[in-house]
Structure 1
Amino acid sequence: MRYLTAGESHGPQLTTIIEGLPAGLALVAEDINEHLARRQKGYGRGRRMQIEKDQAQLLSGIRHGKTLGSPVALVVENKDWTHWTKIMGADPLTDEEESEVKRKISRPRPGHADLNGGIKYGHRDMRNVLERSSARETTVRVAAGAVAQKLLTELGISVACHVKEIGGVKFEQEKELSAAEIRRLSEESEVRCIDPDTSEKMKEAIDQAKKNGDSIGGIVEVIIEGVPAGVGSYVHYDRKLDAKIAGAVMSINAFKGVEFGLGFKAAEMFGSQVHDEIAWSEESGYYRKSNRLGGFEGGMTTGMPIVVKGVMKPIPTLYKPLESVDIDTKEAFTASIERSDSCAVPAAAVVAEAVVAWEVAKALCEQFESDRFDRLKASIDEYRSYTKEF
């Protein structure tokens, strides 16, 4: 299973093509639109979210509400395209049009891909870089992740995300909650924090950052319940599922760190405080008395919930701009503003949920019979019985 995305931030549309979905999976546009709407919410978002009302169009690979086994093409229209048809159009410009509308950008912004991307591809106009490196691309990654979540849901696997920290305001979870309960509570919060009091403090931190012309980052967490033990592999580095998930989370714009379970806290603890003791019952089969390792051992799932956290840096475009250098004149300047989110952590949690769900769904389709969804489900059900009786 794989997908490819295409499209620019102010181009006509964003596209993703998904290959390898089992045939016979029930899928309609609303399964995807629900998650696109979740991505657009969040306290601290900018004006772009008021312009775009993201809706997916299913253009291939689905007939009468079921996948066919052929590639699925999804498209999300950019409403703002109407204001950018000349600037971002595919057709060549006349000399007159170029002088009027091109608006060349020669001033790279710190913290963005502008300068590095310009150097790599030889672009003297940074517009060619920033349009694709924009987090707008995560729209169709969420769409792909929504398809993966539908597959997981049909397999009895639950997915949820929430925000653990924003701008130094932390929520210390005292008791374990199910993925369904975390999902319900996070959806009730404008910042996707499951604690109402902490949510208000996070909103205050966002307000203060915006007032200061600054931005703040945070930590998000994704939980997936119901994945059987032994998904992934210890045999080769590139088959370890936790490594694949870590790479997927790190691929999200502005993410700078990933950890599973206790994560970096494990460095401060004794081994007896870190590892998860094994137990067995006739009802459940093998289980762990704790989940400090976040559902993974040796690159494989343990059968406990997958718990992965991602660290998002503050958005680098600020209302009090940072210094940079014009690539044409080599003169110093203060960076321009291309967007105005003061905090995108709540939205980033939804993106993280999508990419983690995708990697888990992909791993299941690789490990079990997956040409047909009914055979995939039967194969996983049979495997669950096997792990219980092992």
Structure 2
Amino acid sequence: MLRFSTAGESHGEALIALLSGLPAGVPVDQEFLSHELWRRQQGYGRGGRMRIERDAAHILSGVRHGKTIGSPIAMQIANRDWKNWEEILPVETGDAEKHKPVTSPRPGHADLAGALKYDFPDARYILERASARESSARVAGGALAKMLLRELGVEVLSHVIRVGQAELDRPYVWQDLVDLSKKETILLNCIDPEAEQRMKGEVDKVLRTGDTVGGIFEVVTHGLPPGIGTHTNWDERLDGLLAQAVMSLQAVKAVEIGRGVTAAESIGSAVHDAIAYAETEDAEKHTRFSREKNNAGGIEGGISNGEDVTVRGYLKPISTLRRPLASVSFATREVTKAAYERSDVCVVPAAGVAAEAMVAVAIARLVLEKFGGDSLRELKRNFDGYREQIRKF
């Protein structure tokens, strides 16, 4: 059973990613891990915090001589901004005069609901943990899940398909995402340069007005064989697990599998993917069966069907505004302006990278549950045997 959790606060000393259940023998690519963290920090519209941090994962346990050893893996990502907050958020009692309370909760954030739940007189502790800064630890854990999956020929990437009213309006192939992931600079992580410039224009609008903008990212899993997930129990369906994984990210308010949204307004014959069969086996395919289209997003009945698995996350605009909305003071109960914490204007590309991590963790967990194995060699043997089984079906 693959288990994954994070710890840490936005302005605390560090973030921690803890991953247990990876088999022994998985090669750990530190350069890839660092690059994944770098990708999360990029994108037009990021705030001042990203100019402070230089995220790097320090592996504390579970990896020796470049490979996993089967024990829990702990990683630490230091917060460089901690030096500015040591006296504000000390572990010990500290000086109350130096505390920075948040006494006017931000609409759209966890501030008010969290303060009520945990009985805090202000929202400081709530926003520290609810912050999307936590997603850097998710990306670190997801990078290790990706390393496992790519040993099996499975890869996970993302791209941005919409920012505000600007949308990608042309089809793509997997290679487009591969080429995009190799770029040395990231603007808005869109495969089409013209669409990307329109998206940049949407960010520029809100930069001028003190507002924020959301959008849609898509995560694609390539190379996954049929049979991952099951229809037999509600909590074991692949689509349900992926929806929960992506929805768990900060600011994601809706999740779509394949063409799920437009399918609801279409007729069946225009939605369901006709099945084809090739007598000649393609070495790159798991099975001779294929779909003419992929409206289902690679999942039917809660089970992967061998096509690319596509998941879209709908990201609301960031709730911290430079021109704050109305709020209410905790202390006086009077109308006031919401608190302002240094923040981003657009984080859609970064959210896509974080969603890649969550999708990779969810799929790696199901792969390990299905094929087992305490070592990578045992896992590969089981996985290859299953591939051969479905090829001969």
Whether these two folds match at TM > 0.5 is yes
1:29: which partner in 2?
A: 30
Instruction: Encode CA deviations 1:124-172: one digit per residue, 9 max, x unaligned.
Output: 1211111000000000001111111111111111221000000110002
> What are the within-5 Å matches in structure 2 for residues 212-223 of structure 1?
212-223=209-220
1:184: which partner in 2?
A: 179
1:150: which partner in 2?
A: 147
AA of the residue aligned to 1:85: E
CA distance in 1, matches of 2:26, 2:106: 44
1:169: which partner in 2?
A: 166
AA of the residue aligned to 1:66: K
AA of the residue aligned to 2:290: Y
CA distance in 2, matches of 1:389, 1:160: 29
Residue 88 (structure 2) pairs with residue 91 (structure 1): no
Residue 69 (structure 2) pairs with residue 68 (structure 1): yes
How much has 1:340 moved relative to structure 2? 2.8
How much has 1:374 moved relative to structure 2? 1.1
2:267: which partner in 1?
A: 270
CA distance in 2, matches of 1:31, 1:72: 16
Residue 390 (structure 2) pairs with residue 387 (structure 1): yes
Flag structure 1 segments of 5+ consecutive residues without an equivalent. none
SS at match of 1:116: helix
CA distance in 1, matches of 2:266, 2:71: 49
Instruction: Encode CA deviations 1:224-244: one digit per residue, 9 max, x unaligned.
Output: 111110110110000001100
Q: Kindly indicate whether the alpha-carbon contact (under 8 Å) linking 2:176 and 2:191 is maintained by their aligned counterparts in 1.
A: no
CA distance in 2, matches of 1:273, 1:339: 46
Identify which of 295, 302, 307 aligns with 1:304: 307
> What are the within-5 Å matches in structure 2 for residues 1-390 of structure 1?
1-93=2-94, 97-99=95-97, 101-174=98-171, 176-178=172-174, 180-185=175-180, 188=183, 189-282=186-279, 283-284=281-282, 285-390=288-393
2:285: which partner in 1?
A: none
SS at match of 1:49: helix
AA of the residue aligned to 1:286: F
CA distance in 1, matches of 2:25, 2:213: 43
How much has 1:16 moved relative to structure 2? 1.2
Normalised to the residue count of structure 1, the TM-score between the two structures is 0.96
Q: Kindly indicate whether the alpha-carbon contact (under 8 Å) linking 1:162 and 1:183 is maintained by their aligned counterparts in 2.
A: no
How much has 1:35 moved relative to structure 2? 0.3
CA distance in 2, matches of 1:98, 1:199: 47
How much has 1:186 moved relative to structure 2? 5.4
Q: Name which of structure 1's ranges 149-158 and 297-306 shifts more when overlaid on structure 2.
A: 149-158
How much has 1:29 moved relative to structure 2? 2.6
AA of the residue aligned to 2:41: Q
SS at match of 1:85: coil
SS at match of 2:88: helix
Normalised to the residue count of structure 2, the TM-score between the two structures is 0.96
CA distance in 2, matches of 1:310, 1:42: 17
Q: Kindly indicate whether the alpha-carbon contact (under 8 Å) linking 1:277 and 1:288 is maintained by their aligned counterparts in 2.
A: yes
AA of the residue aligned to 1:364: V
CA distance in 2, matches of 1:36, 1:210: 25
How much has 1:77 moved relative to structure 2? 0.2
SS at match of 1:129: helix
How much has 1:181 moved relative to structure 2? 2.7
Instruction: Encode CA deviations 1:186-219: one digit per residue, 9 max, x unaligned.
Output: 5544100100001111111101111011110000
CA distance in 1, matches of 2:38, 2:194: 25
AA of the residue aligned to 2:3: R
Q: Name which of structure 1's ranges 371-380 and 292-301 shifts more when overlaid on structure 2.
A: 371-380
Q: Name which of structure 1's ranges 10-19 and 336-345 shifts more when overlaid on structure 2.
A: 336-345
AA of the residue aligned to 1:319: R
Q: How has the CA–CA distance of structure 1 residues 182 and 256 changed in structure 2, closer, same or farther, with 3 Å as cutoff?
A: same
CA distance in 2, matches of 1:150, 1:110: 39
AA of the residue aligned to 2:242: I
How much has 1:346 moved relative to structure 2? 1.1
Flag structure 2 segments of 5+ consecutive residues without an equivalent. 283-287
CA distance in 2, matches of 1:290, 1:103: 54
CA distance in 1, matches of 2:90, 2:32: 31
